[in-house]
Structure 1
Amino acid sequence: MTSPFDAPASAPASVPASDPAPEDRDARPQYVLPLVVRLERATPPGRTDALETSARAVLTLLADPRVTEAEGEWAERVAAWEDARIRKVVRRARGGEWRRAGELPGITVTGREAEVRVFPPVPLDGWPKELAKLQVSGTDLEENGPLDAPEPGVPVLWLNPDLEMSAGKTMAQTGHAAQLAWWRLGEAHRKEWAAGGFPLAVRTATPETWADLVTSGLPLVQDAGFTEIAPGSCTVVADHPALRG
């Protein structure tokens, strides 16, 4: 089953069949999960490092006690966000913009070079001014070196080899994929993943591997087609070892 999760820089994703119909989700208050990537002119992070860090940022927020505990200060907002369309928007910041963003409640997650700050969901039309003025465009990134094969046993978020997306849009996609894997995991596997700091890899699948992945039953992200790619495009498959039969 699929349900239309969407955002200017994100994608819809597979969800349980018991989830509300799209029209029910549309009728509810709409929230968005802001993600900000630090993009200094002289030291931009590598593309894959940014994609992996974005995914880990989403997982880190989902596992935070402020979300998981019933009386957590972010729990109500996350619940409202998950009850409507799951929107994620990635913006970029540098210098003073990044410092001001860091003063807002949120969590900064670091990769090898990348820094991504994730914030609790905000109303779709109620962004804090410090974030609202940050740019969505201009997040194209290059790799800073060759990519090694993923370590055995590490969850992999596989990208569709036939699609071209900006780094910002792909960061939202990998965040969605990580979230789908989190939803599917049992409590013991969630705790194990969190205890390790959410190790994961993002790689582009070969065409042959991709064909197998999209029919594997693993969590699959599909795009609503509002930006960059065609509606219904399959973008990412979340391959967590615990989700394989």
Structure 2
Amino acid sequence: MISNDVPAPESPFDDGPADRDQARQFVLPLVLHLEKTDPPARTDALRTAARAVLTILSDERSLGDGEWAGAMRDWQDARIRKVVRRARGAEWRKAAALEGITVTGEEGAEVRVFPPVPLDGWPKELAKLQVSGTELDDPGPPAAPDPSGPVLWLNPDLDMSAGKTMAQAGHGAQLAWWELSETERKAWREAGFPLSVATPGPERWRELTVSGLPVVRDAGFTEIAPGSCTVVADHPALRRTA
């Protein structure tokens, strides 16, 4: 199953306070457009999932008294869960008709993100979509990350499905977002949320995990062990304080 459960901002992406588990649990749904004959490249799907999370976090409907703001607050008051599903053909068209935001990647990957829903209250159009078995490949070696821009670094020692990794990339982007000032957030948003996703070598990964940059630690509900470090969120504004 491709899902992930991490705590909310008080103790980001680590073992959170017990009252987080007592609150009603919500999930942020992400749906990947995955046609059999033209699947997206893995790295483009990862980038697009991360940008989809940033897009809904910054959308005016998610802020203040916006129509999604209550659901966003409820979601972040409990564990920060994200679930990636896949859809094609009529399934994708039905999902795209629901309230949400579709984000298109640089190479054509499409991810639609929806306002959080109760863990036990998925819309029927999304609840029936497949979760497991989402595997993607890159047609060639991914381009090197832009060192001057934001980079989500993936743990080179973990073997995660594409869907699981998409959720982790979304967590990394969200963790960076929380750490930025309003001015820095505005600049990133206005630039279209540029970011890279890359896997460093083992030595570089060890350096990143102790650099002071935000680190995503998985709760271990699916695929990997609890407490595993999955992503380091590297943003130029955060490097100055790391």
Q: Could you state the TM-score of these two structures normalised by the residue count of structure 1?
A: 0.93
Which aligned segments of 4 or more residues in structure 1 are displaced greater than 3 angstroms?
Answer: 13-21
Q: Could you state the TM-score of these two structures normalised by the residue count of structure 2?
A: 0.94
* 1:29 CA drift (Å): 1.1
Matched, 1:197 2:189: no
Matched, 1:229 2:224: yes
**For 1:199, what is the secondary structure of its paired residue?**
coil
Bigger mean CA deviation after superposition, 144-153 or 157-166: 144-153
RMSD: 1.8
Q: Which amino acid aligns with 2:153?
A: W
2:151 to 142, 156, 174: 156
* 1:76 CA drift (Å): 0.5
Percentage identity across aligned positions? Answer: 67
Count how many residue pairs are aligned between Structure 1 and Structure 2.
Answer: 238
**For 1:10, what is the secondary structure of its paired residue?**
strand
Q: How does 1:162-177 map to 2 (within 5 A)?
A: 162-177=157-172
1:140-191, Cα deviation, whole Å (9 max, x unpaired):
0000222111224210000000000000000000000000000000001000
* 1:224 CA drift (Å): 1.4
Structure 1 equivalent of residue 67 of structure 2:
73
Conserved? CA contact 2:149–2:235, under 8 Å: yes
Q: How does 1:32-51 map to 2 (within 5 A)?
A: 32-51=27-46
Bigger mean CA deviation after superposition, 213-222 or 51-60: 213-222
Structure 2 unaligned spans of 5+: none
Q: How does 1:5-24 map to 2 (within 5 A)?
A: 9-12=3-6, 15-16=9-10, 21-24=16-19
Structure 2 equivalent of residue 91 of structure 1:
85
Conserved? CA contact 1:10–1:176, under 8 Å: no
* 1:24 CA drift (Å): 0.5
Conserved? CA contact 1:13–1:220, under 8 Å: no
Distance 1:98 1:238, change over 3 A: same
Structure 1 equivalent of residue 25 of structure 2:
30
Q: Which amino acid aligns with 1:10?
A: N
1:118 to 109, 113, 118: 113
Q: Which amino acid aligns with 2:208?
A: L
Q: Which amino acid aligns with 2:139?
A: N
